[in-house]
Amino acid sequence: KKNLMWIDMKSETFFGSEQEAWVQLHALNAKFWKAASTMNKESTPERVVLLKQDLERFSRVVKVAFASANKGRYTMSVVIQSYELLAAVTCFCFAHREMEQKHVWFKKYIPAFDPNNLDHLVLDDKSAIDAASEVRKFLEMRANGIGVPLRNHEDTMRLAKHFASKQSESAKRNRKLHRDFLIASQRQIEERWKDISERQNKLSKLDNKLRKAERDLSNAQASLQEIEVSCIDRSDPRYTTALEKVSEGKDEVSRLRRKIQPLERKPANLTFSLPEESDAESLLFFVIMEEDVRHLA
C-alpha cells in the first residue's frame, strides 16, 4: 500500500483512492479553518490567490469524498457540502477584505453573501464551527451599506461606475479605450460606405452588360428558330453559326450573373463599439475587469 504521508498535496492527481481523498480533504479543511480565524485581522493579495488555488483543489477532492460518503454510513453528504461552502465563503471574504484594503470607498458596499445562509451548514468539527463563526462575524460587521454588488444588476452597475470614477488611472485608460472604440467605429462606417459605393458602381455597370447580353441572347435564339424552320440540313453553316451564337450568349449571361451574385449578397453585420454615453465607462469596467475584482466575483 502507498504510504499516505507521501501524497503530493500540490499535484493535479494527488489522490488515487478514497482514503487519499479523505486525507487531502481534512488537510484542506484545516487550512481554510485556520485562514478563517485570521480573516478579521489581516489579508494579503498573495493569500487570496493561494486560497483560490486551494479552493479549486478542494472542489476536485470533494467529488471523490462525496461519492464515498454516499456509499458509506459514517459521514453525511451534507457535511461534505457544508465543508465546500464554508471554504468558498472563506475565500470570498478574503477577496472582499482585499478590495477594502486597496479601495477605501469599497467599504461602503455590503458583501454579496448573506450571513444567514450559514445557518444551513451542518458541521461536525469544533474548528469548522469556529471558522463559520468568524465568517459570520466578518459578514455581519459589513451588513450596512449602500448596496450589494454582484447580487443584483443595479448595485453591480453602481459599483462599476464607482470603480471607474474613483480609479483615476483606470478611468483615464477607460476614456482612451472609449475614444479609440469610437474612432474605430467611425472608420468602420466609412469603410462600409466606401465598399457599398464601389459595389453599386460595379453592379450598375454589370447590370447594363447583363441586359445587353440578355437582349443579344434573345435575338440569337429568335434567329436560330427562324433558321430551324427554313433549314432542314443541320450541317448548314447558317444553322451551326446561329447555334454557336446562342451558346456563346448563354455563356456570357451566366458569366455576368456569377459576377453579380456576390455583389448582391448582404455584407457582414457591423459591430459597433460602446455608445458615447455615461454608462460606457461602467461597461468597459466589465471588459477590462481587474484581477482583484475577478477574485471577488
Question: pLDDT above 70 covers what percent of the chain?
Answer: 75
pTM of the model: 0.54
| Distance between CA atoms of residues 133 and 17, nearest Å | 33
Query: pLDDT per residue over 73-101, tens digit each?
Result: 556 778 888 888 999 889 888 888 888 88
- DSSP single-letter state for residue 4: G
| Distance between CA atoms of residues 274 and 281, nearest Å | 9
Q: Which residue type occupies 238?
A: R
- The C-alpha angle with vertex 294 and arms to 82 and 274, in degrees rounded to 5, equals 135
3-state secondary structure of 150: coil
Could you tell me the CA-to-CA distances from 89 to 129, 285, 296 in Å, in that order? 14, 24, 11
Query: pLDDT per residue over 238-294, tens digit each?
Result: 888 888 888 898 999 999 989 888 888 877 777 665 555 555 566 666 666 666 677
The answer to whether residue 160 scores a pLDDT higher than 60 is: yes
Average pLDDT estimate for 180-197:
82
Q: What torsion, rounded to 10 degrees, do the Cα atoms 179, 181, 184, 190 define?
A: -90
CB 246 within 8 A of CB 221: yes
Average pLDDT estimate for 216-223:
88
CB 284 within 8 A of CB 174: yes
Residue 112 grid cell:
454579496
The DSSP result for 52-72, as a single string, is: HHHHHHHHHHHHHHHHHHHH-
Within the chain, residue ranges assigned H as helices are 18-36, 45-71, 77-102, 126-140, 153-166, 168-230, 237-264, 280-287, 291-296
The mean predicted confidence, pLDDT, of the chain is 78
| Distance between CA atoms of residues 269 and 126, nearest Å | 61
Average pLDDT estimate for 176-196:
79
How many of the other CB atoms lie within 10 Å of CB of 7? 18
Query: pLDDT per residue over 5-30, tens digit each?
Result: 433 444 444 445 677 878 888 888 88
Per-residue burial over 47-61, b if 16 or more Cβ lie within 10 Å, else e, is bbeebeebbebbeeb
3-state secondary structure of 266: coil
